[in-house]
Structure 1
Amino acid sequence: MSDSKAEASTVPSQKPVPKIKDISLMKAWKDSKAYREYTLFVQSLNRAVHGLKNSDTVPLSPTLDKLIILLNQLDSFIDQCPPKGRSRFGDAGYRDWHGKLEQESQQLLKDALPEQYHNYIEELNGYLCDSFGNSTRLDYGTGHELAFALFMLCLCKIEALTEQDSRAMVLKLFSRYIDLCRKLQRTYYLEPAGSKGQWCLDDYQFLPFLWGSSQLTDDGPIEPKQAIDERFYRDLSNDYLYLGAVKYINEVKTGPFFEHSSTLYDISNVAHWSKLNQGMVKMYHGEVLDKFPIAQHILFGNLISFDPVPKPTGEGLFKKPAPVANQ
């Protein structure tokens, strides 16, 4: 048993809860173990999928395969919870879907994970149920996307997923998650969480642009300025998260692209994908992680800790970092 897993197993699983109650706690969030570990996790997966397509063959562990099956099962709940008719703010049928998610999620996690990880189910379940939107407000946004990424980080910290899963986590599991969320948005007319346009790139998501721009290398099939042109992205949207996101925006919005997605339009003028990707990493902090309207909903427990990062010692910040992707 590794040191990180041994350390994790010494504390009981607990239901994660929000802790950033007001804006004065934003500094504590940025100084926390969770912020540090999550930042490293996102950057590691960013490196792991560099130059890869969604369709590329990558190692797929039995646990990852079962987690994808779990998402497929959540997709099937949509047929069991049909829309009730669109109101001014979303479709109330989503509450039925989310209620079924909350009713079934713990058992679905038990089915997906080997028994030695079942003592973490309660904590993992908090992040899973927070990943698909809010059933009271009938909305979805980058904070919910963040919850799913934290769910993946938790799985890495308990070593249910390992470094060998890093590429498939993005190309297979996260890609399937995004497809499901888009289906939920379109079926139940979920509102963008918060103010429209606040999330800078897209009303609902960010990570497909960050990790997706890493997939598109400087010597790849298209240049950044071509990514918003249907003639170029049409046949490539299934292979690259970035292009799939652009395609989705054009399907759900009307009018000229430079009007409804002005920031993304401006970004397309960056000359190289490598520079664009570096900008995405910085923007993710500025527009998502460092925004109080999003951070106030982040859940913390024993795996995702609000405790401050220990002061540097001869051993470094952590005795052993959480398992992350290959560099």
Structure 2
Amino acid sequence: MKELPREKIEELDNETFDKVSEFRQPEKLINEAKDMQHFRMSKAYFRIVSYIQALNVACVGIKDYHVHYSSRVANVLDVLEQVQEITESVPLEPGRHRFGNPAFRKWHAKLMESAPTMLDTIVPSSLGAAQVELLDYFLGSFGNAQRIDFGTGHELNFLGFLKGLDLLNLLTYEDCAAVALYVSHTYLEVCRRLVQKYRLEPAGSHGVWGLDDHFFIPYIFGSAQLASPSGNVLGLRPSAILDKELTAELSKSNLYFSAIEFINVMKKGPFYEHSPILYDITAVPSWSKVNQGLLKMYDVEVLSKYPVVQHFHFGKLFPFHKFI
């Protein structure tokens, strides 16, 4: 990921948002592959990258994702619980369906109807104008209703939603560990339930040559949990994921192992066949190296890919204008 000079880092978020800020419906501004070059020099790109880096640092060495959290984080968790309740309330459509279950479209319509009220519990009236931007990222976080799919672009929108809250001081620097671990875990559980129940297709998947069909973020933050300057936390090497019993146990506290456990549930056959990239990572000697490699891979495979980033929108919170 691109590194910024210190003075540019300080400038990046040095912006005051209030009720008179010019919030607007975020726009689709990446319309062809050549727009990616502009995106990767934009303020939006660097706000996303700096936030991922801050969240990643906050995870280092924290063994359990069940961390203490503030009332600010509790508000976000409550909203995610409401999203989960919608999932349980929308039944599947009967019959055989080639690409996912069409009931997901009803689910998404119900989310769109409920989302403004949900966000009212997070966003105070003094910042009510910001909700139009936050809603765009929030609604883009849970898959695409038309394609009935879910992938890393939707994860990216959720990061945008969280960073938007951070920019508005509705989350703070002190919340980083809880956001990266507990909020991410809860969001992942919501999305895994959607994937399983409605059989959401992988969005923009590279097939077996992708890291994961649907997710990327848990691998970054989960590897950070196990990384430490003094060595591997818990004395575990990356090859430990090949032990299914150990993986099932550690999935209750670590995001990386939680992601591997979901693969073990969803896929059959030898691990090296259905997940060759993750299998190759087992040969890396330390979690610190895994974490560093995954941050670089995210920049290349997510933030540099037109098919993924084209669905991210731009407004006041994430300006498309050139930053460097």
Fold shared per TM-score above 0.5: yes
1:208 to 182, 205, 218: 218
1:70 to 55, 63, 79: 79
Say whether the 8 Å CA contact 1:33–1:309 is kept in structure 2. yes
SS at 1:192 equivalent: strand
Q: Which residue of 2 aligns with 1:313?
A: none
Can you list the C-alpha shifts for 1:109-138, whole angstroms capped at 9, x where unaligned? 002333333221111000000000000000
Deviation at 1:219, TM superposition (A): 3.0
AA aligned opposite 2:175: D
1:123 to 133, 156, 160: 133
**Equivalents in 1 of 2:143, 2:209: separation in Å?**
15
Can you list the C-alpha shifts for 1:157-216, whole angstroms capped at 9, x where unaligned? 111111111111011111100000000000000000124428721010101001110001
Say whether the 8 Å CA contact 2:61–2:226 is kept in structure 1. yes
Asked whether 1:187 is paired with 2:197, we answer: yes
Structure 1 residues 47 and 267: alpha-carbon distance in aligned structure 2, compared to 1, 3 A threshold: same
1:113 to 111, 120, 123: 123
Asked whether 1:282 is paired with 2:296, we answer: yes
Q: Name the % identity.
A: 37
Q: Which residue of 2 aligns with 1:293?
A: 307
Q: Which residue of 2 aligns with 1:135?
A: 145
**Equivalents in 1 of 2:209, 2:105: separation in Å?**
24
SS at 2:259 equivalent: helix
Q: Which residue of 2 aligns with 1:29?
A: 39
Structure 1 residues 55 and 303: alpha-carbon distance in aligned structure 2, compared to 1, 3 A threshold: closer
**Equivalents in 2 of 1:250, 1:57: separation in Å?**
26
Structure 1 residues 186 and 39: alpha-carbon distance in aligned structure 2, compared to 1, 3 A threshold: same
Asked whether 1:160 is paired with 2:137, we answer: no
Deviation at 1:228, TM superposition (A): 2.9
Q: Which residue of 2 aligns with 1:302?
A: 316
SS at 1:6 equivalent: coil
**Equivalents in 2 of 1:7, 1:117: separation in Å?**
8
**Equivalents in 2 of 1:49, 1:216: separation in Å?**
9
Deviation at 1:37, TM superposition (A): 1.4
AA aligned opposite 1:223: R
AA aligned opposite 1:62: S
2:257 to 243, 253, 258: 243
**Equivalents in 1 of 2:306, 2:209: separation in Å?**
12
AA aligned opposite 2:233: G
1:220 to 212, 233, 247: 233
Say whether the 8 Å CA contact 1:199–1:287 is kept in structure 2. no
SS at 1:112 equivalent: coil
Unaligned runs of at least 5 residues, structure 2? 1-12
Structure 1 residues 256 and 244: alpha-carbon distance in aligned structure 2, compared to 1, 3 A threshold: same
Q: Which residue of 1 aligns with 2:108?
A: 98
Asked whether 1:260 is paired with 2:274, we answer: yes
Say whether the 8 Å CA contact 1:130–1:147 is kept in structure 2. yes
Say whether the 8 Å CA contact 2:63–2:233 is kept in structure 1. no
SS at 1:289 equivalent: coil
2:99 to 51, 75, 89: 89
Deviation at 1:67, TM superposition (A): 1.2
Say whether the 8 Å CA contact 1:63–1:160 is kept in structure 2. yes
Structure 1 residues 130 and 139: alpha-carbon distance in aligned structure 2, compared to 1, 3 A threshold: same
Say whether the 8 Å CA contact 1:199–1:288 is kept in structure 2. no
AA aligned opposite 1:135: A
Can you list the C-alpha shifts for 1:208-256, whole angstroms capped at 9, x where unaligned? 0011100012331221011232132121111000000000001001110
Aligned residues: 308
Say whether the 8 Å CA contact 1:132–1:140 is kept in structure 2. yes
Q: CA RMSD in A?
A: 1.7
Can you list the C-alpha shifts for 1:53-105, whole angstroms capped at 9, x where unaligned? 344433x2222101111111111112221111351000011111100000110
AA aligned opposite 1:74: V
AA aligned opposite 1:24: K
AA aligned opposite 2:232: D
Say whether the 8 Å CA contact 1:93–1:188 is kept in structure 2. yes
**Equivalents in 2 of 1:8, 1:260: separation in Å?**
49
**Equivalents in 2 of 1:212, 1:286: separation in Å?**
19
Worse overlay, 245-254 or 111-120 = 111-120
